[in-house]
Structure 1
Amino acid sequence: MSGGDSQTAGQTVGEALVGELAARGVRHVFGIPGVHTVELYRGLGQSDLRHITPRHEQGAGFMADGYARVSGRPGVAFVITGPGVTNLLTPMAQARADSVPMLVVSGVNESRSLGRQLGHLHELPDQHALAKLVALNSEHVSAAEELAPALERAFALIDGSETARPGPTHLQIPLDIGGSAAAYKSEIAADHTGGDSLEQAIADLPLLMQRLTAAERPVILAGGGARFQANQLRQLAENLGAPVIQTVNARGVMFDHPLSVPASPSLASVRALIEAADLVLALGTELGPTDYDMYATGVMPQMTGLIRVDLCAEQLERHPAELAIQADVADVLSAILADLEAVTMTLSDWGVNKASEARAAAWMEIGEGYRAQVEVLNALRAVAPGSIVVGDSAQPIYAGNLYYDHDRPGGWFNAATGYGALGYGIPAAIGAAIAAPDTTVICIVGDGGAQFSLPEIMTAVDEDLPITFVVWNNYGYQEIARSMQDVGVPVVGCDPTPPDFSATARSFGVSHRAISADPQDVAAAMLDCAKETGPSMIEIITPKFVPTPAKKD
């Protein structure tokens, strides 16, 4: 951020906050105004910041999440004290699990009442401490002059500039402070240049290059930290002849490439590839079980010669490696590629052959049912190339997370891994569409998950967003029902009655198409939706799961 003094003379703290956010590149705010945030909204009407109104505070948080993932800028949400903050805790937890930059700004009751349990409206015993349990940090502004330094600390954590993964943070402003006179602030700090990260990368470069050039069977694991380095990643893979296995948040970085393995490292076939390597280079991946051990075996794939690159020192300590580099993936890739220009490497066909074998084996391993659902995803991609696909915990999303090759880096993300919050898909897709208004956004949700946040579609209507909401309607929580049956538990509570989605869409003022799961039907429906300018809905109707009756002795 370029330097310069903010003009706060004659402003309130709430007005100054809006100016400070704008000066830091914030362009959109997601929130629902209330009596505890009136002063935060005073400056919005006079600013260039655009306010987006969800139907629930949880929706505001998920919209901020989707916006941040697509724009690369922090998603910002304004909420009231008490229930506004507690409703935001779930989105904050999802953002923390996936290293998504987010700022939640809330009101809080008057300073003199805090912690006294006087029965004020929306009172919590200690909102500040509660937010700290989920966010990277919670800042309490107890005086006007504390606003600027609190924001500096918050943004340092949000964007990962303190050589740590980005994530959500919280700022609360008491009612009596928000409307008080603002104080002049110091000059905004310059943008973090990543100097420390680059210095670390260069310091470890000789040893790293020695390992890379000596490897005969290298494999690259690409995580969410590498999703915006697609060109560099491809170049490195081609130089090394290394297959690139992509976690969920890295899908799209190697689309249709012979070295690409767009399949879950939890699959036995992909694990076999990892274990056949004599060097594993893990770039921006936490090696978490929802990616690497989703079947809960308790055993991670064996990784010979593991080299890890990650911003977070704590994360590096959780999975020891032969070489751990605390640095930004982009810096390390730049340093490696610059050094590779002076290195002649003799490559074999090992990487291309192994990647091809892993793709074929993984495709068979996921099973016929999931293969059919991936074909639906392929049909959507074929008729809407370059789309952003946002998902909830729905069957096609589970299938795609196991095996799906997307054609846009950073364009495939969902809440079926990590924290795994239902209700994420619809609002997160709205945030994504706000961030990329000229891009088709496809939201894939199940009938059960859709009911968590269905009213948020009205926000897409208000904003006239080009989102196609694909509802996979199997009349219940089919994945959970199958899981219960598989372990001999009676299937209970897995068949909530879905609404009439046709009538619901009509009440929202959006078009509706009910189709089968045949890929040709899906493609035709998507082509029809593409002709419309605003939101639309496709309902894919599939058979309801009927549990096998338990055998009686």
Structure 2
Amino acid sequence: MSQTCASQLLRLIEAYGVNTAFGIPGVHTIELYRALGESPIHHVTPRHEQGAGFMADGYARASGKPAACFIITGPGMTNIATAMGQALADSVPMLVISSVNRRDTLGRGQGRLHELPSQQQLLAGVSVFSHTLHDPAALPEILARAFAIFRGARPGPVHIEIPIDLFDAPVAETAPRPVEVFPPAPAPAAIARAAQWLSQAERPLVLLGGGCAAAPDAARALVERLQAPALTTINAKGVLGLDHPLDLGATMSLPASRRLAADADVILALGTELGETDYDLVFDGGFHLSGRLIRVDIDPQQLGRNQAADLAMVADASETMTTLLQALPEGHRDDPQDNSRATAVRQALALNEDPELAPYAPLYATLRATLPEAILVGDSTGPVYAGNFLASLPAPRRWFNSATGYGTLGYGLPAALGAALACPEHPVVALVGDGGLQFVLGELATARDLPYPVAVVIWNNQGYDEIRRYMAMHEVPQLGVNLTAPDFADLARAYTCRYRAVGDPASLGKALAQLGDADSPLLIEVDAAAWMNVLPYQK
């Protein structure tokens, strides 16, 4: 018996747990779509391949599981490259399956449809692994490598391109045998030394990265056993739960948290790259560690970057937290309820009184009061930058955005749609600016097609205000940043979406409360100028 390479591909990825694919069909992928018609994999059609990548990104961040993207040769791949770059920067798993020209034409420069000199080389720069399939019999091996990376190494986009003459090639029909991969565990000697240092520490500090999102209970138990203040990266927000007394959030760029870090005598950094977009958002190189640094990362290369470690473990952060917790003595702190160091820093931070952050505090208070279980997905826009400091979440995977890592625009709406597909039990809110939304207006049609309503909160400040203010700060002429926004009410009608205009927290709360009243997307346009004028700190 035989099957086609395309049908084998779908059977294999389904066996690995992939049940959703995002893509736009084309003449080079019709044989893949022929096989997809007989597959249980759910297909979603975005309006642009970049949207497909962002949707797969949001799906993976919300669920912890990769989705697939089915992408056409040439322009489809250059379109998705930006989304792959964002996923690569934030270690987000994504399986990108593309077509490529026939094997006998590759690299010959004959002017074929969608031809690139080397599509694989182009995409290798935004992939953790990129491969051209030359033999359909090798497909099980290549997919096993892909999912070994997703489950046992630092994840990111994997790109597999299949020549168009192979999609309908016959292959032997065999039962899929997905490999179960266990990530690396910490070395016992390293755990013993880390436990000794931490138990003897007088001023311990824990740095929790996105690698801890899969084990919130272990993270919470560990910081409580150590009675150590914890700083979380943006992608680890919520890992300690809502308003945990030891959680200082993603405040590493602020003076009070930096003083805490510099004063710590032992620092445990788990699943964090210690990179600029979490630890130095003011770009002054001011985050310093003077105590002993214990680093845990699944990527050995990362252990040599950004901050020099005194003890480095190549290991899964979740497994390490569980093992380290067992090695630490119980009750070794004099007062297990002493949160004084964290309390002092929190008081010094005074986030709700910070003039840069205070205008957005009512936004997050309203979201929390109205939709406490929501997944909040952000673009690069002022309220999201503020929310990276202000937002407190009840669980991990409820807050992610493109205002970190690669830092692209146009991410918020399509990533929110991916999150809604992955977690239909949670309301989903996209937080976007009027400028960033215009990168992906077509995805409002995708939102309309989905069975789950998504709220799109548009912070309308008539242009690229973050860049406008940065230009003003550096005395640069404000060119190219003052945009005329579309009439969002008319736009909502054109896409058959609901629309509300708001200018204060009370009206925002009333609008958000209507999210579940219908299945259509809900566009909420916030007049940024009106919002600023009605709040008491402006009077």
TM-score grouping bracket, smaller chain normalisation: over 0.9
Aligned AA (1:107): S
Aligned to 1:176, the other structure's residue is in SS state coil
In structure 2, the residue matched to 1:536 is 522
User: 2:100·2:162 contact (CA, 8 Å) conserved in 1?
Assistant: yes
In structure 2, the residue matched to 1:323 is 311
In structure 2, the residue matched to 1:400 is 387
Aligned to 2:86, the other structure's residue is in SS state helix
1:54-203 superposed matches below 5 A? 54-157=46-149, 159-161=150-152, 164-184=153-173, 188-194=177-183, 197-198=184-185, 200-203=186-189
In structure 1, the residue matched to 2:456 is 469
CA distance in 1, matches of 2:344, 2:330: 29
Aligned AA (1:416): A
In structure 1, the residue matched to 2:421 is 434
CA distance in 2, matches of 1:393, 1:80: 28
How far is the alpha carbon of 1:302 from its aligned partner? 2.3
36, 46, 52: which one pairs with 2:44?
52
In structure 2, the residue matched to 1:30 is 22
User: 1:241·1:347 contact (CA, 8 Å) conserved in 2?
Assistant: no
User: 2:49·2:79 contact (CA, 8 Å) conserved in 1?
Assistant: yes
Q: CA RMSD in A?
A: 1.8
Aligned AA (1:539): E
How far is the alpha carbon of 1:253 from its aligned partner? 1.6
- Over 3 Å counting, the alpha-carbon distance change for 1:386 and 1:201 in structure 2 is farther
How far is the alpha carbon of 1:349 from its aligned partner? 7.5
CA distance in 2, matches of 1:43, 1:416: 38
Aligned to 1:413, the other structure's residue is in SS state strand
In structure 1, the residue matched to 2:374 is 387
Q: Deviations over 1:485-541 (max 9, x none)?
A: 10111110001211111111111111110001x222221211122333332111101
User: 1:31·1:54 contact (CA, 8 Å) conserved in 2?
Assistant: yes
217, 235, 241: which one pairs with 1:231?
217
- Over 3 Å counting, the alpha-carbon distance change for 1:350 and 1:358 in structure 2 is farther
- Over 3 Å counting, the alpha-carbon distance change for 1:269 and 1:349 in structure 2 is farther
201, 205, 219: which one pairs with 1:215?
201
How far is the alpha carbon of 1:21 from its aligned partner? 1.0
User: 1:131·1:137 contact (CA, 8 Å) conserved in 2?
Assistant: no
User: 1:82·1:108 contact (CA, 8 Å) conserved in 2?
Assistant: yes
How far is the alpha carbon of 1:73 from its aligned partner? 1.2
How far is the alpha carbon of 1:201 from its aligned partner? 3.8
How far is the alpha carbon of 1:464 from its aligned partner? 2.2
- Over 3 Å counting, the alpha-carbon distance change for 1:349 and 1:187 in structure 2 is closer
How far is the alpha carbon of 1:348 from its aligned partner? 4.0
CA distance in 2, matches of 1:154, 1:252: 29
Aligned AA (2:172): A
In structure 2, the residue matched to 1:204 is 190
1:145-544 superposed matches below 5 A? 145-157=137-149, 159-161=150-152, 164-184=153-173, 188-194=177-183, 197-198=184-185, 200-254=186-240, 255-318=242-305, 319-340=307-328, 342-348=329-335, 352-364=339-351, 367-516=354-503, 518-543=504-529
User: 2:5·2:169 contact (CA, 8 Å) conserved in 1?
Assistant: yes
CA distance in 2, matches of 1:22, 1:103: 12
Aligned AA (1:248): I
| Unmatched tracts of structure 2, length 5 or more | 532-539
How far is the alpha carbon of 1:344 from its aligned partner? 3.8
Task: Please say which of residues 518-527 and 49-58 is displaced more in the overlay.
Answer: 518-527
Aligned AA (2:170): A
User: 1:263·1:404 contact (CA, 8 Å) conserved in 2?
Assistant: no
- Over 3 Å counting, the alpha-carbon distance change for 1:278 and 1:444 in structure 2 is same
TM, length-normalised to structure 1: 0.92
In structure 1, the residue matched to 2:4 is 12
Aligned to 1:452, the other structure's residue is in SS state coil
Task: Please say which of residues 47-56 and 262-271 is displaced more in the overlay.
Answer: 262-271
How far is the alpha carbon of 1:301 from its aligned partner? 2.2
User: 1:264·1:403 contact (CA, 8 Å) conserved in 2?
Assistant: no
How far is the alpha carbon of 1:266 from its aligned partner? 0.8
CA distance in 1, matches of 2:249, 2:510: 26
In structure 2, the residue matched to 1:4 is none
In the alignment of these two chains, the number of paired residues is 529
- Over 3 Å counting, the alpha-carbon distance change for 1:189 and 1:273 in structure 2 is same
CA distance in 2, matches of 1:542, 1:419: 26
Aligned AA (1:213): S
CA distance in 2, matches of 1:432, 1:266: 28
User: 2:265·2:291 contact (CA, 8 Å) conserved in 1?
Assistant: yes
Aligned to 1:272, the other structure's residue is in SS state helix
Aligned AA (2:469): R
Q: Identity of paired residues, percent?
A: 44
Aligned AA (1:82): G
CA distance in 2, matches of 1:45, 1:209: 54
CA distance in 2, matches of 1:356, 1:20: 51
How far is the alpha carbon of 1:544 from its aligned partner? 9.6
How far is the alpha carbon of 1:79 from its aligned partner? 0.6
How far is the alpha carbon of 1:351 from its aligned partner? 5.8
Aligned to 1:368, the other structure's residue is in SS state coil
User: 1:222·1:247 contact (CA, 8 Å) conserved in 2?
Assistant: yes
Task: Please say which of residues 503-512 and 200-209 is displaced more in the overlay.
Answer: 200-209
User: 2:127·2:157 contact (CA, 8 Å) conserved in 1?
Assistant: yes
CA distance in 2, matches of 1:338, 1:32: 49
User: 2:351·2:389 contact (CA, 8 Å) conserved in 1?
Assistant: no
CA distance in 1, matches of 2:249, 2:351: 14
- Over 3 Å counting, the alpha-carbon distance change for 1:536 and 1:143 in structure 2 is same
CA distance in 2, matches of 1:471, 1:327: 41
Aligned to 1:107, the other structure's residue is in SS state strand
| Unmatched tracts of structure 1, length 5 or more | 1-8, 546-553
- Over 3 Å counting, the alpha-carbon distance change for 1:466 and 1:365 in structure 2 is closer
How far is the alpha carbon of 1:108 from its aligned partner? 0.6
User: 2:261·2:288 contact (CA, 8 Å) conserved in 1?
Assistant: yes
Aligned to 2:419, the other structure's residue is in SS state helix
CA distance in 2, matches of 1:260, 1:464: 36
In structure 1, the residue matched to 2:534 is none
User: 2:225·2:330 contact (CA, 8 Å) conserved in 1?
Assistant: no
Aligned to 1:43, the other structure's residue is in SS state helix
Aligned AA (1:368): P
